[in-house]
């Protein structure tokens, strides 16, 4: 059911006509997030910790971009979690202040606990709406599916949300929240657009 829903969303996004005048959003950036709250469900227990996220995007045409993301978490009980994602996406303006964004790529999840080391590689699919709600303020929200699974975690649908204040065309400060049935993260980040 989920794969059919994501397939339909991706097909609808790709079927949208490419607009000749895009919204004034930048898709070439690098940002670093501090994630002071990270929680992973492991069996009947919740394991807390913190981490960071580094991600970047590079526009390759007026409507398409490539992306990379690294998340690294240091959790209680000596649990270390690392997630890589590499892929691409497209954005289609719905009007001058709203873009529909779709992403797809490869995800790798690695979990280390003492001598235990397990990893899995899968795919990710995402769909978001990006909106400028005030002259310097943006909101982003949507869903993300990741098929990589390690132990009880992974192979999940995440709800994602971000708010971002743009000081100028290059520097921004934002907050983010991601949560699923197994994982939740909260953080703040700084972005440099180029």
Count helices and strands (H / E) in the chain: 1, 10
pLDDT of residue 106: 98
pLDDT of residue 182: 84
pLDDT of residue 46: 85
d(CA 169, CA 68): 22
pTM: 0.82
d(CA 9, CA 16): 11
pLDDT along the chain (194 residues), means of 10: 46 42 78 95 84 98 97 93 96 95 96 88 97 96 91 79 97 96 94 97
pLDDT of residue 48: 95
Q: Which of these, 123, 109, 140, lies nearest to 25 by C-alpha position? A: 140
CATH topology of domain 2-193: Porin (2.40.160)
Measured at the CA of 190, the angle between CA 184 and CA 193, to 5 degrees, comes to 120
pLDDT of residue 116: 85
Question: Are the CB atoms for 84 and 69 separated by under 8 Å?
Answer: yes
Question: Are the CB atoms for 132 and 23 separated by under 8 Å?
Answer: yes
């Amino acid at each position: 059911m989920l794969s059919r829903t994501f397939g339909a969303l991706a097909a609808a996004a790709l079927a949208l006509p490419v607009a000749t005048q895009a919204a004034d959003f930048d898709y070439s950036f690098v940002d670093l997030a501090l994630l002071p709250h990270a929680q992973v469900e492991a069996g009947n227990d919740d394991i807390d910790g913190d981490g960071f996220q580094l991600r970047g995007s590079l526009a390759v045409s007026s409507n398409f971009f490539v992306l990379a993301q690294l998340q690294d978490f240091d959790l209680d009980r000596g649990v270390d979690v690392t997630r890589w994602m590499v892929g691409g996406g497209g954005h289609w303006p719905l009007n001058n202040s709203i873009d529909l964004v779709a992403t797809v790529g490869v995800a790798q999840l690695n979990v280390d606990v003492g001598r235990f080391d397990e990893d899995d590689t899968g795919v990710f699919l995402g769909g978001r709406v990006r909106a400028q709600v005030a002259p310097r303020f943006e909101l982003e929200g949507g869903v993300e599916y990741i098929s990589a699974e390690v132990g009880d975690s992974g192979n999940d649908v995440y709800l994602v949300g971000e708010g971002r204040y743009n000081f100028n065309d290059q520097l921004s400060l934002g907050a983010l929240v991601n949560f699923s049935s197994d994982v939740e993260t909260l953080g703040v980040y700084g972005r440099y657009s180029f």
